[in-house]
């Protein structure tokens, strides 16, 4: 999975406090530039640095901000092939399958979903040969995977969530 600096204070179990418009703006600013300074964020949302610092810490503590990571141009980073892969898996095998999927090279997102398939993966590989190896050798070897479907990505655009 994508490497992230994760907040690990158990905030997942507690319900997060409601967000106000300033919190939402801070989130949008940090999504646009995770390296923005506290001072810059404070100025842009019209609060003191201490207030901005406290709000960002609360967003981290509440698990709303799960970490900070770089947005990567995968093709320029040497991963010329990207695909969404759908999996049908044996009923009630999600946890076992997830444990195996997180070890696979190139897998950057894993989601348990509803509908015609059970799992959706986003993968980035060096080339189509590596993608083929991942799908036909590694994924098909997972006992609980009943079937897969690969959707090649021709172009992608990352969006920053708005208010």
Q: How many helices (H) and strands (E) does the chain have?
A: 5, 4
Asked if residue 148 and residue 92 are part of one domain, the reply reads: yes
CA angle 84, 8, 46 (to 5 degrees): 90
CATH of the domain at 48: 1.10.10.10
- Helical pair 49-61 and 38-45, crossing angle rounded to 10 deg: 100
* Average pLDDT score over residue span 114-132: 95
pLDDT for residue 159: 72
CATH of the domain at 135: 3.30.70.920
pLDDT for residue 107: 95
The H or E element containing residue 92 is: none
**In contact, 71 and 160? CB cutoff 8 Å:** no
The residue from 71, 95, 120 where one domain ends is 71
Please check the confidence at residue 157 and state whether its pLDDT lies above 60: yes
Task: Give how far Cα 29 sits from Cα of 32, 44, 120, 122, 155, Å.
Answer: 5, 9, 28, 25, 25
Asked if residue 61 and residue 18 are part of one domain, the reply reads: yes
Asked if residue 94 and residue 52 are part of one domain, the reply reads: no
Mean pLDDT score across all residues of the chain = 87
Owning domain of residue 58: 1-71
Task: Give the span between the Cα atoms of 62 and 77, in whole angstroms.
Answer: 33
Please check the confidence at residue 4 and state whether its pLDDT lies above 90: no
**Percentage, residues of the chain above pLDDT 70:** 88
Count other Cβ atoms within 10 Å, centred on residue 12: 11
pLDDT band at 68 (very low <50, low <70, confident <90, very high): confident
- pTM (2 d.p.): 0.69
Count other Cβ atoms within 10 Å, centred on residue 5: 12
Q: Which residue has the higher pLDDT, 113 or 33?
A: 113
Task: Give the span between the Cα atoms of 68 and 3, in whole angstroms.
Answer: 9
């Amino acid at each position: 999975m994508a490497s992230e600096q994760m907040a690990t204070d158990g905030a997942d179990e507690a319900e997060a406090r409601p967000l106000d418009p300033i919190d939402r703006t801070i989130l949008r600013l940090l999504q646009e530039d995770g390296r923005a300074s506290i001072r810059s964020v404070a100025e842009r949302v019209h609060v003191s640095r201490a207030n901005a610092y406290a709000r960002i810490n609360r967003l981290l503590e509440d698990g709303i901000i799960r970490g900070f990571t770089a947005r990567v141009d995968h093709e320029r980073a040497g991963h010329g092939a990207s695909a969404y892969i759908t999996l049908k898996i044996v009923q009630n095998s999600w946890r076992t399958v997830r444990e195996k999927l997180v070890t696979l090279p190139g897998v950057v997102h894993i989601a348990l979903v509803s509908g015609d398939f059970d799992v959706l993966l986003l993968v980035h590989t060096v080339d189509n040969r590596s993608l083929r190896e991942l799908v036909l050798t590694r994924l098909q070897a997972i006992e609980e995977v009943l079937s897969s479907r690969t959707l090649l990505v021709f172009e992608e655009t990352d969006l920053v969530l708005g208010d």
